[in-house]
Amino acid sequence: MQKIQAAHALLPDGWVRDKIIKIGEDGRITDIEPAADRTASAVDLLLPAPVNLHSHSFQRAMAGLTEARGGDPTDSFWTWRRLMYRFLDRLTPDHVEAIAAQAFVEMLETGFGAVAEFHYLHHGPGGLAYDNPAEMATRVAAAAEKTGIGLTLLPVLYMQGGCDGRALEGGQRRFGCNLEPFGELLDHSAAALDPLPGDTCLGVAPHSLRAVPPDALRHIAKLREATPVHLHLAEQQAEVDEVEAHLGARPVTWLLDTQPPDERWCLIHCTQMTSTETADLAATGAIAGLCPITEANLGDGIFNGVEFDRAGGKFGVGSDSNVQISLWSELAALEYSQRLRDQTRAALARASHSTGRALFDQVCAAGAQAAGRRSGAIAPGRWADLIAVKTDTPDLCARRDDAWLDSLIFGRHGESSVTDVWSAGRLVVRDGRHVARQSVERAFIKTLQDLAETI
């Protein structure tokens, strides 16, 4: 039994003082009691740790490598994607494990308690199958085990190069899978997760409406009926045009009309939606998976956050391309995008809560739902995904309650105030540093040096 004594904590009913949170051997919170002594580990401020609901961990090694325009005067998501395909053709299983571990360490240090890994790098260069169909999933699982992060693994079905059914080319061949081998891949992925703790989850991820034909999309949603389904949706205007030309409707409208999502679903990006689509998607109970830093980096567009929120929609955040891994910066980028578009302030605040509190409550609840993970709150029965924060800092001193969250998000580098992080009761960050950072970082640096010789 672990005990954490918190001078202040954010519980489902609001802010409380002087509580002891008890954590059972299985990693779940068992009880919350008044603090009567000083025998437990003491922290200034205890928060639930949200889930990073969308990550392509291997792309962490690309950060900073795609910022030159080169010879293309119209650099865009699509030119970035070509560069990404060239990069991933060099990656070995050892590289993927080292890169994923580094990304997971950085996620934990910023305050994410778990990650939903949208995993589509299945095969070797040229699409050559490994002896173990889930070789790469096994490496992601090994990185999760090494770092202690809670993992929802989402093997991706990627069948075609576009809505017209064209064959996969170049780097895409490493993603490719048809329905029958995908079922085998899922079985092997489940086996890869067996050594991991009980908070691990396996879902499914049809990549996008471009990459998965309609019949296959309907089939895959039924493969694991009690687990999360994640799908890239309406990220780029060119994608909207392609789907509309071939399927007869805009992406969100087509999905709502033909494969209505429910609370199992997490739709990633949704940065290209009409007002009607925004309201209709909010009504389904599905999560909008937002990645504001990546969406800004790739020029995707701005999510209709204010409209979606007012319609009762649920949204969480993820680090996607991992160009910058920061829970707090993702939240600031989301809010600032709304302000810039609408020329307003406190866009996602509510009458009862400040902007920071409203954002934080949303991403905690939505991230847990999207990952199929019983977390997102400090309450008995939930996984103990927790963030300890020191408040005697220049950024947080003389603050209270919601203002703590506002300062973490909109102040200077929220992660600098994070002292400890638990994932399902596993203490993985102490004094602001991951317990395995030194060895993980050393392997990551070696990987980058190896890759630099081939790129």
- Residues carrying an active site annotation: 269, 320
332-370-79 Cα angle (round to 5): 60
Contacts of 338 (CB under 8 A, 6+ apart): 302, 305, 306, 344, 347, 348
